[in-house]
Amino acid sequence: MCSCDQVGCAVPRFLVAFISVLLAVPSLSGTYAQESSPAPAGKTAPAKQVSEIKLGYLRAYAPQLALSVLDVPPRNEGVAGAEVAIGDNNTTGRFLGQKYTLDVSEVKPDADVAPAFNDMVSKGVLYILADLSATQLLSIADLARDKGILIFNVGAPDDRLREEDCRANVFHTAPTRTMLADGLAQYLIWKQWRRWVLVYGSHEPDKLFADALRRAATRFGGEIVAEKEFTDTGTARRTDTGVVQIQRQMPVFTQGFPDHDVLLVADESEVFGTYVPFRTWIPRPVAGTAGLIPSAWHPASEQWGGTQIQNRFAKANGRRMLSKDMAAWTAARIIGDAATRTQSADPEKLAAFIRADDFSIAAFKGQRLTFRKWNWQLRQPIFLGDGRSVVSTSPQEGFLHQVSELDTLGIDQPETQCKLK
């Protein structure tokens, strides 16, 4: 038998609690009925205010060819990343009375973007993700500043947008060419591969990336022992350059170079770079825009929670995330995070929050990312990978900095020419 201490003495307390609940039921029922009854005629309960935060994605687009059909950019490159971020923002926003939308507008490369910009502004867009050339972006930067609109550069790697042509209302989530080149150079120096041959294309972007590689060699102790330009003759890639012809051309083109550790390729224009690996006169690793490629993101990245964003992105788009997708996602999330924490849709308040000393954003890259105050470039690691996997990430071990190791990538504050306006 159970003792009174175990059971019997607990019964009265149980009965008291049970009776109290029974007595409370009518009161609760009445309260519920009162809350669920319709409002008197002519009166409605006040609706919760929803603040709509409109983002625009302004892109210069035209179908592009690539030397490999596997490298043809997806039709929604960049836009897809922004759309995933809009979904992420709305997940939180619906509890805070915020609604995020995205308006996408396309123009031809090198076309006048002012009409498309003005059309977005007329729709109430206050934040623009710009996937434009440097010239196009600059054409609207001052217009946006005068209208109180913030621009996030998600596509242009040009250093001049962060230097002599910098603007106070333009934030950059895409890395610069110098950041990409420095990330690659650090790894090559860490591997003790110090002697480089540089081959570069004849188009302006190719030459700009070649300049960034030269600067990286000087900065980190690499030596460019030879250079050679590959001139684009304008031949049709698919009809005039068969495999046999390429197999004969590349060894001859790379013949006669002095002894070197790595062959660097600067071919942003996709004219010859993909044909270089495994076709050089002497067997050497290839890096740059072919072979080992530096980038803001890698589709195979799974570290630091990368699997989470990759899976969500793939579920929504049926493909893996690319660098421009990540730059756009990061920009839209910065806006969402700032709006959430300030409880505002005012660009002035959001800009002040983003520019604050304690601002940072998480972007699946191993650390929280911050903006450089002297040119509003987002500090971020650089991925180094081939077509299958991530080989490494920079900054590399041993490359130190008094403020942030991420400032070993790209133009540092003592070097900057930026005067924000």
Dihedral angle over CA of 196, 201, 202, 207, nearest 10: -60
Which CATH number covers residue 104? 3.40.50.2300
Q: What is the pTM of this model?
A: 0.87
Residue 91's pLDDT is what? 95
Residues 258 and 164 in one domain: no
Residues 57 and 130 in one domain: yes
Residues 76 and 154 in one domain: yes
The token pair that represents 342 in the structure block: 């300030």
Helix (H) or strand (E) segment spanning residue 96: helix 79-96
Query: Is 26 inside any structural domain?
Result: no
pLDDT in tens, 172-204: 999 999 999 999 999 999 999 999 999 999 999
Residue range of the domain that includes 188: 179-295
Residues of the chain whose pLDDT is less than 50? 1-40, 45, 236, 241
| Other Cβ atoms within 10 Å of 220 Cβ, number | 20
Residue 49's pLDDT is what? 81
Residues 363 and 376 in one domain: yes
Residues 224 and 154 in one domain: no
Residues 336 and 373 in one domain: yes
Query: Is 350 inside any structural domain?
Result: yes
Listed residue (136, 8, 131, 18) closest to 77, CA to CA? 131
Residue 243's pLDDT is what? 60
Residues 138 and 231 in one domain: no
DSSP-assigned states of every residue in 301-328: --TTTHHHHHHHHHHHHSS---HHHHHH
Helix (H) or strand (E) segment spanning residue 61: none
Residues 57 and 168 in one domain: yes
Listed residue (409, 73, 136) closest to 151, CA to CA? 136
Query: Is 388 inside any structural domain?
Result: no
**CA 157 and chain centroid, separation:** 12
Listed residue (97, 109, 152) closest to 127, CA to CA? 152
Residues 291 and 308 in one domain: no
Final residue of a domain: which of 264, 295, 326? Answer: 295
Listed residue (251, 159, 258) closest to 211, CA to CA? 159
Cβ–Cβ under 8 Å, residues 308 and 362 = no
d(CA 148, CA 347) in angstroms, rounded, equals: 7
Residue 395: asked if its preceding bond is cis (omega within 30°), the reply is yes
Query: Is 43 inside any structural domain?
Result: no
Looking at the 3D structure of the chain, how many domains does it have? 2
Residues 71 and 129 in one domain: yes
Place of tokens 């687009």: 61
Query: Is 310 inside any structural domain?
Result: yes
Cβ–Cβ under 8 Å, residues 316 and 376 = no
Alpha helices, H only, 221-346: 237-240, 243-253, 306-317, 323-342
Residue-wise burial string across 299-321, b where 16 or more C-beta atoms lie within 10 A, e elsewhere:
bebeebebeebbeebeeebeeeb
Inter-axis angle of helices 177-190 and 204-220, nearest 10: 40
Query: Is 240 inside any structural domain?
Result: yes
